[in-house]
């Protein structure tokens, strides 16, 4: 005999950062496990300290952290958690980022700009991550930035089911807020057998979060328009698109987005807008003071939990979204 043969079972462990504990608890409940006990605190100068309170040796570790505000703090905490797991001899490390920070910086628009989305992937690879998992990436190309498996999860089935059950499909039109989201909006049209309209806009590259809406392509008169996007940041773009739809004869406008970033004036803009509903998921934490009457929040915990199970059991994450991606 040339070696020692050990028998044992695989061990799944789920770890959570401090950015969005409610989502982590919901995912753990779906999996029927408890979160791994973790000690995390900040030093007086802002440095982050993390220690896991039980052995992780030989485990398949899943590290969940939403890149919410303050985004740089929570990204750094997740990187430190990955490093700690690598040094504690975890067998595999899967980084779960429901919202991928810096995803909008996925290419160079002008000279001397960074590609920060690529830098993010490099940082996690260097820290020790074997696999990345994210929901509704801003662009598909980000999957190629990480040197390893990337599971791109979709919130579309969850959001489509809600629209199907709550909106009159006879009057429904799916609207892309810009040309870049047409491909995704077209998938919505296929799922709901609805026509497509597009908001044509122009953005000033020198002024952040400022958009001029030009025209609507498609028939929206007297229709219930569902504006679909991957995220709502300051809500300037989406509210301007909604106003343009109303000005062109839309009967009702519903906003649907996966990531509720809700920076700065977003909540006030949405509350005071003419839109009838705003439907988002809980990929990012939304405290009570950032919620309002028009807002509906759907949980992605079942999607994340199923994806974790598929990875752990060597199953197929892709099969979860057959016909979507």
Buried residues in 30-58 as b, exposed as e (16+ CB within 10 A): bbeeebbebebeeeeeeebebebeeebee
* CB 17 within 8 Å of CB 81: yes
| CB neighbour list of residue 308: distance below 8 Å, 6 or more residues apart | 12, 14, 27, 31, 62, 94, 96, 133
Can you state the angle between helices 182-192 and 156-166, rounded to 10 degrees?
50
Q: What b/e sequence results for 220-236 when a residue is b if at least 16 CB atoms lie within 10 Å of its CB, and e otherwise?
A: beebbbbbbbbbbbbbb
**Peptide bond before residue 70 is cis, with ω within 30 degrees of 0:** yes
- The Cα–Cα gap between 270 and 277 comes to 9
Question: Where in the sequence numbering do the catalytic residues fall?
Answer: 201
Per-residue tokens: 31 = 């999996």
Place of tokens 């959001």: 159
Q: How far apart are CA 33 and CA 27, in angstroms?
A: 9
Q: What is the DSSP letter of 50?
A: E
Task: Find out whether 286 and 297 touch, Cβ atoms under 8 Å.
Answer: yes
Q: Given its phi and psi angles, is residue 261 left (phi above 0), alpha (psi -120 to 50 degrees) or beta?
A: alpha
> In 3-state terms, what secondary structure has residue 303?
helix
Nearest to 137 by CA among 183, 85, 191: 183
Q: Please work out, in degrees rounded to the nearest 5, the angle formed at the alpha carbon of residue 24 by the alpha carbons of 226 and 304.
A: 55
């Amino acid at each position: 005999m040339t070696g020692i043969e050990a028998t044992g079972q695989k061990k799944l462990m789920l770890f959570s950062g401090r950015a969005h504990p409610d989502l982590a608890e919901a995912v753990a409940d779906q999996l029927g496990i408890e979160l791994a006990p973790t000690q995390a605190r900040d030093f007086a100068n802002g440095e982050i300290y993390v220690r896991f309170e039980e052995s992780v040796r030989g485990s398949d570790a899943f590290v969940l952290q939403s890149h919410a505000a303050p985004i740089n703090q929570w990204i750094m905490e997740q990187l430190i958690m990955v490093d700690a797991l690598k040094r504690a001899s975890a067998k595999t490390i899967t980084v779960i980022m429901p919202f991928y920070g810096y995803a909008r910086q996925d290419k160079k628009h002008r000279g001397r700009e960074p590609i920060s989305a690529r830098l993010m992937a490099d940082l996690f690879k260097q820290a020790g991550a074997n696999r990345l998992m994210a929901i509704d990436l801003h662009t598909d190309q980000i999957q190629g930035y990480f040197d390893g498996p990337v599971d791109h999860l979709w919130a579309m089935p969850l959001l489509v089911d809600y629209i199907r059950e709550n909106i009159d499909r006879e009057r429904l039109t799916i609207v892309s807020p810009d040309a870049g989201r047409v491909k995704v909006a077209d998938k919505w049209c296929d799922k709901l057998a609805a026509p497509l309209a597009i908001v044509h806009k122009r953005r000033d590259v020198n002024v952040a979060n400022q958009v001029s809406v030009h025209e609507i392509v498609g028939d929206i008169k007297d229709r219930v328009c569902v504006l679909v996007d991957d995220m709502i940041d300051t809500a300037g773009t989406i509210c301007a698109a909604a106003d343009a739809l109303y000005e062109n004869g839309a009967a009702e406008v519903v906003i649907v987005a996966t990531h509720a970033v809700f920076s700065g004036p977003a909540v006030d803009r949405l509350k005071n807008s003419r839109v009838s509903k705003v439907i988002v998921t809980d990929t990012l934490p939304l405290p009570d003071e950032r919620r309002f009457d028009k807002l509906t929040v759907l949980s992605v915990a079942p999607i994340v939990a199923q994806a974790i199970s598929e990875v752990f059991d060597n199953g197929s994450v892709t099969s979860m979204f057959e016909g979507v991606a």
